């Protein structure tokens, strides 16, 4: 059966990856929407796990800023974890090499800070030829005004601004299969709205 042609800006589960940028212990106390952002990242990871899409996790000088927060580590499985000193994840040649080895074309990016490491990573990924989907409800900054600045700069450079639900349903494509049933169950068990309403 011939595959259906789809718009190239739709995120798909093939040749794609999720990158979680620098969500580390030292930052959480100074992030104004930390709890919601962590829950959105966790939800995103659960969805990517359903579709067996590779997950990459970066840590900025972890010896000083601590490691990835436990809540996120608890839901990541078989992630490619790497540390860095440059703000951009692309400063780590092993990370770039792994993307190329896995033939990754599309990358969904989440984490912190939206206007620093997320933004610089996104622009460098674009420069290296990847299509980048910035998950707007799974990134944040210490000052929320700077999140908006980061998003605008990434959009103007060619990044696709997306959301947790948007990217997951784009990967799903069609209802009825086993993966979609698991995704439905994930949404049925979703506690994020209750947190927002509290």
Query: Which one of 42, 84, 90, 110 is the catalytic residue?
Result: 84
* Nearby residues of 12 by Cβ (< 8 Å), 6 or more positions away: 6, 106, 170, 171, 173
In a domain, 144, yes or no: yes
Active site residue 64: no
Q: What is the pLDDT of residue 91?
A: 97
In a domain, 6, yes or no: no
In a domain, 3, yes or no: no
Q: What is the pLDDT of residue 147?
A: 97
> pLDDT tens across 49-80, in order?
999 999 999 999 999 999 999 999 999 988 99
Active site residue 147: no
Domain housing 98: 16-197
Supply the pTM of this predicted model: 0.93
Q: What is the pLDDT of residue 193?
A: 55
In a domain, 7, yes or no: no
Total count of domains within the chain: 1
Instruction: Mark the ranges of the chain whose per-residue pLDDT is less than 50.
Output: 1-2, 194-198
Q: What is the CATH number of the domain that holds 32?
A: 3.40.50.850
The C-alpha angle with vertex 21 and arms to 75 and 149, in degrees rounded to 5, equals 130
Query: Which one of 89, 90, 110, 117 is the catalytic residue?
Result: 117
User: Which contacts (CB < 8 Å, 24+ apart) does range 189-198 have?
Assistant: 190/43, 191/39, 192/36, 192/39, 192/40, 192/43, 195/35, 195/36, 195/39, 196/36
In a domain, 121, yes or no: yes
Active site residue 117: yes
């Amino acid at each position: 059966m011939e595959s259906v042609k789809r718009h190239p800006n739709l995120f798909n589960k093939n040749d794609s990856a999720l990158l979680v940028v620098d969500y580390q212990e030292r930052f959480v106390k100074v992030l104004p929407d930390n709890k919601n952002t962590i829950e959105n990242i966790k939800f995103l990871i659960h969805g990517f796990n359903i579709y067996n899409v590779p997950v990459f996790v970066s840590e900025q000088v972890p010896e000083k800023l601590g490691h990835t927060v436990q809540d996120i580590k608890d839901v990541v499985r078989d992630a490619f974890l790497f540390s860095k000193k440059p703000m951009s994840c692309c400063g780590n040649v092993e990370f770039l090499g792994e993307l190329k080895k896995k033939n990754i074309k599309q990358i969904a990016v989440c984490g912190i800070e939206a206007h620093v490491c997320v933004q610089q990573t996104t622009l460098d990924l674009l420069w290296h030829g990847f299509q980048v989907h910035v998950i707007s409800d799974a990134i944040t900054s210490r000052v929320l005004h700077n999140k908006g600045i980061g998003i605008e700069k990434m959009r103007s450079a060619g990044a696709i601004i997306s959301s947790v639900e948007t990217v997951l349903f784009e990967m799903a494509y069609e209802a009825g299969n086993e993966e979609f049933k698991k995704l439905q169950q994930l949404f049925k068990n979703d506690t994020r709205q209750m947190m927002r309403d509290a």
